[in-house]
């Protein structure tokens, strides 16, 4: 869809490359490389924009500041709120939701009501952007994020950069930055194009290599995969309900309320206070539907091991905690009613309505061995480029464990 839309823009601007013209004259077949060229140019422009702090009010942050490519496109920066939520360009404002990975986000369908009766696709935790293009412009104009006052200001920043002027003109035709609305949308499309490149979705994790027969999983990882496939995980964290998906993103892109408690620490710091209730999907524009309250998009589990903290509000620091949380709904053992990070009860759901009980109440508690196995499996979903990060994390965890052991 994005490709088609981009092509339409390109055609309208009448700047088809020579090869495209030749292609149109002969057959549709040779159009592809030209389209790919256009897409590549757009993605290259998107790449420039992605790393450019000029798109923030004070020039202190770019997309990549919060979506750091070295950290699975999440925000590694520690603030007063830890890494649960991100700090804006003003150096003070804190978001209310955790910065999600951009890895594999291009694989999500556009927002729609699925045959299942559930809303599906879109971007943001609450799906309020229909697709990546719709999403890309929003952080620039969000006062608690990049903080630009309006689209005109963004386009003005672009105009000040000769390289942008050249790139936009090359792709969209002369004076491509002339019209603010159009130029802003083109910038968003470029960012979306960049996020649609294999750099964001390489499918080169250990799990992919295992599926291709290039590597073996350990017994524990295999066990984790078996648990994942047979327990309730796969009811939401799989593209398809059945059949084979070769490019699995480990989300059905639907929305669920799993009863996450408020991240009180964040709410106290970002000024929203404890009275505030995050409506989730019910806050999606035009979706005045109380039955969607508290639902959030099922996130991809790719790179999950290196993109903590977890859940829409970053309330759990450790992946193991995020896995164990699900035991809350299945256990009769008091041990699993405790958040291991706080030593206290999990806390009431922020939105107690619309809980996905059909899926959550599986009737089976995940034992410690299975939690470990699930974590081991989830770690295999780490892209190759982040494997050193994973190794580092594991080493740190092991060191911490040894310290605790030594202390005891």
Return residues touching another protein (CB under 8 A).
Answer: 219, 330-333, 363-365, 367, 369
Cα torsion 364, 300, 352, 345: sign? positive
**Strand stretches in 327-381, DSSP E:** 338-339, 344-345
| Of 275 and 363, CB closest to another protein | 363
> Smallest distance, Å, CB 42 to another protein?
51
Residue 129 pairs with which residues in a beta bridge?
123
9 known ligand binder: no
Angle (CA) 9-13-16 rounded to 5° is 90
236 known ligand binder: yes
| Of 34 and 371, CB closest to another protein | 371
> Smallest distance, Å, CB 349 to another protein?
20
Instruction: Report the alpha-carbon distance of residue 296 to residue 294 in Å, rounded.
Output: 7
| SS3 (DSSP) at 233 | helix
| Of 48 and 220, CB closest to another protein | 220
DSSP class per residue in 166-211: HHHHHHH-TTTTSSHHHHHHHHHHHHHHHHTSTTT----SHHHHHH
| Of 332 and 408, CB closest to another protein | 332
Q: Is residue 5 a contact partner of residue 195, using CB atoms and an 8 Å limit? A: no
> Smallest distance, Å, CB 369 to another protein?
6
| Of 134 and 366, CB closest to another protein | 366
71 known ligand binder: no
> Smallest distance, Å, CB 364 to another protein?
5
284 known ligand binder: no
| Of 130 and 222, CB closest to another protein | 222
**Strand stretches in 47-201, DSSP E:** 112-113, 119-120
> Smallest distance, Å, CB 366 to another protein?
9
> Smallest distance, Å, CB 327 to another protein?
9
For the beta carbon of residue 62, count every other beta carbon within 10 angstroms.
Answer: 21
Non-local CB neighbours of 50 within 8 Å, separated by 6+ positions = 62, 63, 64, 67, 191, 194
For the beta carbon of residue 247, count every other beta carbon within 10 angstroms.
Answer: 11
Residues annotated within the binding site for heme c are 63, 66-67, 233, 236-237
Residues annotated within the binding site are 63, 66-67, 233, 236-237
């Amino acid at each position: 869809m994005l490709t088609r839309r981009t092509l339409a823009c390109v055609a309208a601007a009448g700047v088809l490359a020579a090869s495209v013209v030749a292609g149109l004259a002969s057959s549709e077949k040779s159009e592809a490389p030209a389209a790919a060229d256009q897409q590549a140019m757009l993605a290259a422009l998107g790449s420039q924009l992605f790393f450019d702090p000029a798109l923030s009010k004070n020039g202190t942050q770019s997309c990549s500041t919060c979506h750091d490519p070295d950290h699975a496109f999440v925000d590694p920066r520690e603030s007063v709120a830890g890494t649960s939520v991100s700090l804006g360009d003003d150096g003070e404002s804190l978001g209310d939701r955790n910065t999600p990975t951009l890895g594999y986000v291009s694989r999500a369908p556009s927002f729609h009501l699925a045959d299942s009766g559930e809303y599906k696709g879109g971007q943001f935790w609450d799906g309020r952007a229909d697709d990546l293009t719709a999403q890309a412009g929003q952080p620039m104009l969000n006062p608690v994020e990049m903080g630009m006052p309006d689209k005109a200001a963004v386009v003005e920043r672009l105009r000040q950069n000769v390289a942008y002027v050249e790139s936009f003109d090359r792709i969209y035709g002369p004076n491509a930055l002339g019209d603010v609305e159009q130029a802003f949308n083109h910038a968003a499309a470029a960012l979306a194009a960049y996020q649609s490149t294999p750099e964001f979705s390489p499918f080169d994790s250990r799990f992919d290599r295992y599926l291709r027969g290039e590597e073996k999983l350990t017994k524990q990882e295999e066990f984790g995969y078996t648990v994942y496939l047979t327990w309730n995980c796969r009811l939401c964290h799989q593209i398809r309900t059945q059949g084979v998906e070769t490019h699995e993103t480990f989300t059905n892109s639907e929305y669920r309320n799993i009863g996450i408690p408020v991240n009180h620490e964040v709410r106290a710091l970002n000024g929203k206070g404890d009275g505030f209730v995050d409506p989730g999907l019910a806050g999606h524009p035009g979706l005045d539907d109380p039955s969607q309250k508290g639902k959030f998009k099922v996130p991809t589990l790719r790179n999950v091991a290196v993109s903590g903290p977890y859940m829409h509000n970053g309330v759990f620091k450790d992946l193991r905690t995020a896995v164990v949380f699900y035991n809350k709904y299945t256990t009769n053992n008091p041990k699993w009613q405790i958040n291991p990070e706080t030593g206290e009860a999990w806390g009431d759901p922020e939105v107690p309505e619309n809980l996905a009980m059909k899926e959550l109440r599986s009737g089976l508690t995940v034992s410690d061995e299975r939690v470990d196995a699930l974590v081991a499996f989830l770690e295999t979903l780490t892209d190759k480029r982040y494997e050193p990060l994973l190794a580092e994390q594991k080493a740190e965890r092991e060191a911490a464990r040894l310290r605790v052991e030594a202390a005891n």
